[in-house]
A and B are shown apart, each in its own frame.
Chain A
Amino acid sequence: GESVGLHLPTLSVQEGDNSIINCAYSNSASDYFIWYKQESGKGPQFIIDIRSNMDKRQGQRVTVLLNKTVKHLSLQIAATQPGDSAVYFCAEIPNSGYSTLTFGKGTMLLVSP
């Protein structure tokens, strides 16, 4: 069936480095994608979103890139901080007009000082 998945289960970086977390999706009909951050013992927290008619969207220290040709999504975090350590999930909305999310498995980001 359709699914959202991540390439790397764990990413370790040094404080101050830039981090890139990748995600592959298989449903070409999805028109909306979201990145969530989940810290230990907490629920997922919205980071940034992007619609399928966009290639790039920037937030504060984060950038999401969407490549529809290869069905690939990435989250870039600039100047990574220890507080960025968490599990990151990409999620897609497979049916336009409804808010049902399909989550991938997640990538753990470990930031060492």
Chain B
Amino acid sequence: EAGVAQSPRYKIIEKRQSVAFWCNPISGHATLYWYQQILGQGPKLLIQFQNNGVVDDSQLPKDRFSAERLKGVDSTLKIQPAKLEDSAVYLCASSFDSSVYEQYFGPGTRLTVT
């Protein structure tokens, strides 16, 4: 079974630029998550989708971050404009559905904002 795919793996941008990350979850998984992991810390949930609907986006900085999962499969997370404090690894995870607790994580995208 193929795992969660993410791209790009690494991205370096200057502050105030925009960036987008892509995630393709495990086939058949209805729930998709985006996490932000700052160096030395545990992942923090940014947004959770159930199919193409948002379940939880309470910790998403909506003035600069946006995410979509239009067809209920792959998802895109965007930052516009980026700030220095956005430097982190952005992890995507999926689970069969929201009542199944085991989440499968992708390798992440390491973002550096200079």
Q: Measuring CB to CB, which residues of chain A are less than 8 angstroms from any residue of chain B?
A: 4, 32, 34, 41-46, 49, 89, 91, 93, 97-106
- Check A45 against B98 for contact (C-beta < 8 Å): no
Q: Measuring CB to CB, which residues of chain B are less than 8 angstroms from any residue of chain A?
A: 4, 31, 40-45, 48, 55-56, 91, 93, 95, 98-108
- Check A44 against B48 for contact (C-beta < 8 Å): no
A104-B42 contact given A43-B93, A43-B107, CB 8 Å threshold? yes
What's the A-B contact tally at a CB cutoff of 8 Å? 58
- Check B107 against A42 for contact (C-beta < 8 Å): yes
- Check B41 against A106 for contact (C-beta < 8 Å): yes
**Smallest Cβ distance from A95 to chain B, in angstroms?**
10
**Smallest Cβ distance from B97 to chain A, in angstroms?**
8
- Check A103 against B42 for contact (C-beta < 8 Å): yes
- Check A44 against B105 for contact (C-beta < 8 Å): yes
A105-B102 contact given A42-B107, A99-B95, A100-B48, CB 8 Å threshold? no
Partner of B102, one of A49, A89, A97, A103: A49
> Of A32, A44, A49, A104, which is in contact with the most chain B CB atoms at under 10 Å from its CB?
A44
Partner of B101, one of A34, A41, A102: A34
- Check A44 against B45 for contact (C-beta < 8 Å): no
Contacts of A44 in B (CB 8 A): 43, 91, 105
A44 to B102, CA, bound (A): 11
- Check A100 against B44 for contact (C-beta < 8 Å): no
- Check B105 against A43 for contact (C-beta < 8 Å): yes
- Check A99 against B105 for contact (C-beta < 8 Å): no
Which single residue of chain A is at the shortest CB-CB distance from B43?
A103
A34 to B43, CA, bound (A): 13
